[in-house]
């Protein structure tokens, strides 16, 4: 199983279990306390496991939209990297850090969690560009790019080969 397959599979299980894309409801359903910390300065979010108990801390100065995205990202760490957080703290200063594999994976998880494939396909079919799609889904444009990667992979799985038609190549995203 590839990393992308695993991320999509894990996220799909979470979506099915909780019946929502709302990361606040998912965290609550998982029994993960989400704490707002006003003294985080540049730190956007943090995930930690202490004695088997999972915790997420968010920068208290984040807007509701930013907090939603950071929480989705931290949930990615919970579902994908829990073992890493048992020995150390997973801290996120830059939400769109794509240089470290765990950060990239948590971003893919968050993009898949927050953006429905079917709805994104419809928005793009209606002529939306990357920035418009991002605004409609209340996510950063970088996450639309990540979701497009997942969408292309999903099409490849569905049709058994690389799709002839690519949304990204059409300049839609």
Q: Where are the alpha helices (DSSP H) in 64-129?
A: 64-87, 101-114, 117-125
Question: Which structural domains are found in the chain, ordered by start?
Answer: 3-114 (1.10.10.2910), 116-173 (no CATH)
Strand partners, 57: 35, 46
User: How far apart (Å, rounded) are the C-alpha atoms in residues 62 and 149?
Assistant: 27
| Mean pLDDT by groups of 10 residues along the chain of 173 residues | 92 98 98 93 87 92 94 96 69 56 92 96 93 95 94 86 51 43
pLDDT for residue 173: 41
CA dihedral 11, 17, 89, 65 (to 10 degrees): 70
C-alpha to C-alpha distances, 76 to 23, 56, 81, 147, 157, nearest whole angstrom: 10, 11, 8, 14, 23
Tokens 């048992």 belong to 86
Residue 19 backbone phi and psi in degrees, to 5: 65, 25
pLDDT for residue 157: 86
Enter the pTM of the model. Answer: 0.86
């Amino acid at each position: 199983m590839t990393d992308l397959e695993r991320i999509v599979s894990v996220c799909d299980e979470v979506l099915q279990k909780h019946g929502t894309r709302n990361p606040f409801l998912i965290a609550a359903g998982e029994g993960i306390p989400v704490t707002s910390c006003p003294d985080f300065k540049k730190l956007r979010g943090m995930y930690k496991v202490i004695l088997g108990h999972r915790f997420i801390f968010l920068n208290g100065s984040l807007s509701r939209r930013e907090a939603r995205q950071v929480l989705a990202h931290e949930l990615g760490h919970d579902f994908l990297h829990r073992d890493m957080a048992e020995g150390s703290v997973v801290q996120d200063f830059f939400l769109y850090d794509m240089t470290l594999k765990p950060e990239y994976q948590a971003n893919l998880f968050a993009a898949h969690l927050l953006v429905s494939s079917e709805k994104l396909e419809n928005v793009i079919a209606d002529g939306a560009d990357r920035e418009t799609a991002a605004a409609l889904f209340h996510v950063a444009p970088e996450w639309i790019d990540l979701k497009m990667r997942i969408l292309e992979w999903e099409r490849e799985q569905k049709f058994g080969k690389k799709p002839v038609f690519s949304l990204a190549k059409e300049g839609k995203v």
